[in-house]
């Protein structure tokens, strides 16, 4: 797992290193520049003597990193020009010192001029461009008609590769939102700790390959920095999956009840049950409307479907509650929602189940929609395990706020307010917990953006939970497993052609990779 830092935490780390530990700030800048310069050298498609590099700098310390990197590149024999986007008078002391050192080498810091054809021609013909315009402290939008916006557009229009210093300019460090416009980097060399905005929102795409550079901040200061957001990696997932007893029987590996399905949505509960079985659950029961029971029974070989009372339209009736509760008595976990459909009587059934059972519940799809206007039902379960797995639309229906572009903050606020574990699905799915911590997933791709993928995820999470995984581990670990299986499916079949069934088929390969 990697800690993801905020801009304020990075500012405080810099302050402690400089003021409390006496490390010269210019030394930190030089080490940062070394990392940027190494990335440029790695990306050059030609020998250094034939290379062209453009460095676009702001007046802050991030710009100073770029100026210092330009000097190091020049000393390696690379043709480099450095353009200041902003005012020379506003250069920070360290950026000014780096400008002096650059000048001593015979290279001058040139004022950026969007109308200078010599400048624009050099930038357009550069093999690599260094983006050092804004750092992690940017908090306001870049004005669309400003030189800053013109510089960003010029970088993005160039065919050369792009290296961003610390963060892609225009990306909000704490949220990943785009502040007006933003550089699209091929590689971001970030310093000391990765930033939240490089792993969520648009920032996850715009940052390219993120590499972490140690610039000399004392290790104890970094270790003592408490980050509320972390990534989910292999080590977390390996620890999350419950071990299997060599002499165990099916009852030792979890008993799961899934309730879902309706006429027209027979695939969803089947996918959920199949994923639960494939990810290790010992016994999987599937309660579906009696109108589709024969369909499910003919498809499910390893899971055990059973019929429940339904309306003429094929959705569950409220009168199915006693049968569900009876079956749930012998199970450890309830997953409800896949393919359930929207009907007031069915929604009322969901709410009654949530109120009456003390068992852990994984709530998905129309199970979540049943809480629209009834969020008090969720609040009443505080202290019991409830995992919600909404996409953005479902999240909005139950009061989640994404208008500010801060997915991590919105997920964290909802989990804290309602005492649940929230799995906010999407690119870089966020798992938030009532304590205020959040976990950002690092697997998966566009091949998972297909109907049925969420049903597979629900089955994996519920399976891990039924097998004894801690709720947070089941949720975040299940997301990682699902995403990694999707990656393998995309490698084999392409993101275009893979299906949710293919994701289930790839789960064994993921477990093998983890050594399980």
Q: What top-level class would CATH report for the domain 234-239+249-513?
A: alpha beta
pLDDT at 313: 79
Question: What is d(CA 95, CA 67) in angstroms, rounded to the nearest whole number?
Answer: 7
Cβ neighbours for 310, distance < 8 A, ≥ 6 positions apart: 262, 289, 290, 291, 316, 317, 320
Q: Where are the domains of the chain?
A: 3-227, 234-239+249-513
Q: Strand 3-4 to strand 229-231: parallel, antiparallel, or no bridges (unpaired)?
A: antiparallel
Q: In a structure prediction context, what are the per-residue pLDDT tens digits for the chain, which is 516 residues long?
A: 899 999 999 999 999 999 999 999 999 999 999 999 999 999 999 888 899 999 999 999 999 999 999 999 999 999 999 999 999 999 999 999 999 999 999 999 999 999 999 999 999 999 999 999 999 999 999 999 999 999 999 999 999 999 999 999 999 999 999 999 999 999 999 999 999 999 999 999 999 999 999 999 999 999 999 999 999 999 999 999 999 888 888 787 999 999 999 999 999 999 999 999 999 999 999 999 999 999 999 999 999 999 999 988 789 999 999 999 999 999 999 999 999 999 899 999 999 999 999 999 999 999 999 999 999 999 999 999 999 999 999 999 999 988 778 999 999 999 999 999 999 999 999 999 999 999 999 999 999 999 999 999 999 999 999 999 999 999 999 999 999 999 999 999 999 999 999 999 999 999 999 998
Ramachandran assignment for 413, one of left (phi > 0), alpha (psi -120 to 50 degrees), beta (any other) = alpha
Q: How far is CA 27 from CA 22, 23, 154, in A?
A: 11, 7, 31
pLDDT at 401: 83
Q: Hey, which CATH number is domain 3-227, 3.40.470.10, 3.30.70.20, 3.40.50.10260, 3.30.2010.10?
A: 3.40.50.10260
Sign of the dihedral through C-alpha 474, 476, 479, 483: negative
pLDDT at 312: 81
Phi, psi of 121 (to 5 degrees): -65, -40
């Amino acid at each position: 797992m990697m800690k993801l830092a905020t801009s304020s935490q990075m500012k405080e780390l810099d302050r402690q290193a400089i003021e409390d530990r006496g490390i010269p700030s210019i030394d930190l800048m030089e080490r940062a520049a070394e990392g940027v310069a190494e990335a440029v050298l790695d990306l050059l498609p030609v020998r250094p003597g034939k290379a062209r590099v453009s460095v676009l700098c702001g007046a802050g310390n991030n710009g100073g990193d770029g100026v210092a990197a330009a000097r190091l590149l020049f000393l390696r024999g690379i043709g480099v020009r450095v353009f200041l986007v902003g005012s020379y008078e506003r250069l920070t002391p360290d950026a000014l010192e780096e400008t002096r050192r650059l000048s001593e080498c015979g290279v001058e810091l040139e004022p950026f001029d969007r109308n200078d054809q010599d400048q624009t021609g050099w930038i357009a013909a550069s093999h690599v461009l260094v983006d050092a315009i804004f750092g992690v402290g940017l908090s306001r939008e870049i004005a669309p008609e400003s030189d800053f916006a013109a510089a960003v557009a010029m970088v993005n229009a160039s065919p050369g590769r792009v290296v961003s210093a610390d963060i892609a300019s225009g990306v909000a460090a704490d949220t990943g939102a785009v502040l007006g416009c933003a550089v699209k980097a091929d590689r971001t060399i970030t310093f000391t700790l990765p930033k939240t905005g490089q792993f969520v929102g648009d920032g996850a795409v715009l940052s390219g390959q993120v590499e972490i550079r140690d610039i000399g901040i004392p290790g104890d200061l970094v270790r003592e920095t408490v980050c509320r957001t972390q990534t989910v990696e292999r080590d977390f997932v390996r620890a999350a999956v419950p071990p299997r007893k060599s002499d165990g029987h099916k009852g030792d590996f979890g008993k799961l009840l899934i309730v879902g399905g309706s006429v027209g949505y027979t695939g969803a509960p089947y996918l959920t049950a199949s994923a639960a079985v494939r990810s290790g659950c010992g016994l999987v029961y599937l309660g579906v409307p009696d109108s589709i029971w024969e369909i499910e029974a003919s498809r499910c070989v390893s899971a055990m479907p059973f019929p429940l009372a339904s309306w003429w339209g094929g959705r569950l009736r409220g009168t199915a509650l006693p049968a569900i509760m009876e079956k749930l008595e012998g199970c450890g976990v309830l997953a409800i929602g896949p393919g359930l459909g929207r009907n007031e009587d069915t929604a009322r059934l969901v709410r009654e189940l949530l109120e009456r059972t003390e068992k852990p519940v994984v709530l998905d799809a129309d199970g979540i929609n049943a809480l629209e206007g009834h969020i008090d039902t969720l609040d009443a379960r505080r202290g019991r395990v409830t995992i919600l797995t909404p996409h953005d639309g479902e999240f909005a229906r139950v009061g989640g706020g994404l208008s500010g572009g801060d997915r991590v903050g919105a997920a964290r606020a909802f989990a804290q307010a309602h005492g649940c574990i929230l799995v906010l699905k999407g690119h870089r799915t966020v798992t938030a917990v009532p304590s205020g911590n959040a976990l950002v997933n690092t697997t998966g791709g566009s091949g998972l953006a297909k109907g049925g993928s969420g049903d597979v995820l629900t089955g994996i999470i519920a399976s891990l939970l039924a097998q004894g995984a801690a709720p947070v581990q089941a949720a975040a670990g299940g997301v990682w497993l699902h995403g990694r299986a999707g990656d393998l499916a995309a490698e084999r079949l392409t993101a275009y052609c893979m299906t949710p069934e293919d994701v289930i088929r790839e789960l064994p390969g993921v477990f093998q990779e983890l050594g399980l």
